[in-house]
A and B are shown apart, each in its own frame.
Chain A
Amino acid sequence: MDYTNQIREIAARLFSENKIDVFVGYRMTGFDENQVPVLIRDPKEVPRLVFNDKSVFNLTNYLKHEHTRGKRVGLVVKGCDSRSLQLLLTESQVKRDRLYVVGIACEGVVDDAGQKYQNCQECVFPDAVVFDEMLGTPKGNGQYQVNADIRELASKDLVERRAYFEEVFENCIRCNACRHSCPMCYCAKCCIDQESSTLYNGANTTSAAFHALMTWSLHLAGRCVDCRNCEKACPSHLPLHLLHKWNEQVIYENFQEHLAGVHEGDRGAFYKYSLQDPDDFIM
């Protein structure tokens, strides 16, 4: 999967036709094989753009960036990124007519060791769902399967799970990189930063980390698209996907909801209800 040349051509064409002000893509870091996002505002810089298996980050996160707000933006999205873009459009965070979306029929991205990421191995929607132009051959939807880590952890007993998660929350340093890297976290003032909530004062405690991560994952329940920007950003390498994948699985199994961001206008499981929802856990 290497669309570097096509993306450079598209970006150059969009700038020459004066269709965009900013192009959001990937560039090489300059010191290793990895890539970082780049905002191209000058057509002369277009040759810096690249796209291949190492283009791991979700660029829709940059739609809340100061240099893209209110501008006409060109954007590269893979399958998972396009779902978060679909949700941002549904939640009225970005305007579709200001975007030019280059969709990718994604074949999965790889980590430093050359291994495909877990979410790419399990990917259900590899093709972009929102696009103006598609690169690659669409493969169609995959079959939803329960995450392997979830299956393993759910089979353990209560005390083991408690011990496992206590360690996870202990290792959190409350840097909030997960929140900042999440494309679905766009609130100008986050509830977990509220000064009135005394639980967060003193910040760096297991208790506060538990509260912050649980609140965060519940705000993303039914909206998380499993791009794993949070995990890639986490300096402590916390398994944050466990919380999101668990919520996704509960919602998928109990409410028969589609995965987040697949359909236009679908705001997620918590914005609607069905009379047939499970009721057996309520006295």
Chain B
Amino acid sequence: MQSSVARRKHPFRRFFLLILPLIAILTFLLFPYYWTLVTSLTPRQELYSANTVYWPAHPTLDAYGKLFGQFNFLLPMRNSFVVALTTTVLSLTVSTLAAYSFSRFRYRGRKFFMVLFLTNNMFPTVLLLIPLFTIMRQLNILYTPMSLVLSYTTFTIPFSVWLLNGYLNDFPMSLEEAALVDGANRAQAFMRIIFPVLVPCLLATGAYIFMQSWNEYTFAVLFTNDRNRTVPVALKNLIGQLGVQWEMLTSGGIITVIPVCVMFFFAQKKLVAGLTSGAVKG
């Protein structure tokens, strides 16, 4: 009651302190996406006009048609999905088991391995390019999606292990111990007790891995060829030495963002729960 009176007393305060900054921040965040969308819908003649227009006079979907027709954008999209999904599943499986081991067991070398995993991420990517290229070539998996999956896991697994280790440390041991007392073995205790509680954390970690694999360029340009190029490489081909195909580049950008947005839309609730778990001890 008191707060509603206060709100009525200062009608402008809420506007200036909350709504206006919110609008400003949202405009700042969303304007690049809006501009990308507008560019993708603008015919080439209008794109190079001297006047800045915030909506094209003759919007067209030609760029999207060309992207999926002549440019065959479905192929890189399919390749990116295969690579990102495989990397996510593989990384999550390995990271979850490794994190469970680090969190629940005390053994010699545990800390050493944990630090080793952390230092892996400190290596600049470019330093690992040539050695990884040589390894992929000798394994005979160069120019296959598997070369990208293996490369990405070298970066996503260490980080995911640390992330999941943090989540697991927050789960009380007594939950598992109760299951063990009731006759479950380790695997059953993990699958029936830990795993269901861990799902939001796995979603958060999975989203991180998926986005890393979906957007990666440096390895993708080197380890793929025309048959298995991923989205970032395909889009980069639209930026030539002598020109940029803005309308196709931006339409490709819009299409690329859609799967990630859809994924986040459905996973949003659990994702937030996963990201904030472990933030408050108690």
Query: Is A bound to B?
Result: no
Which A residues are closer than 8 A to B by beta carbons? Answer: none
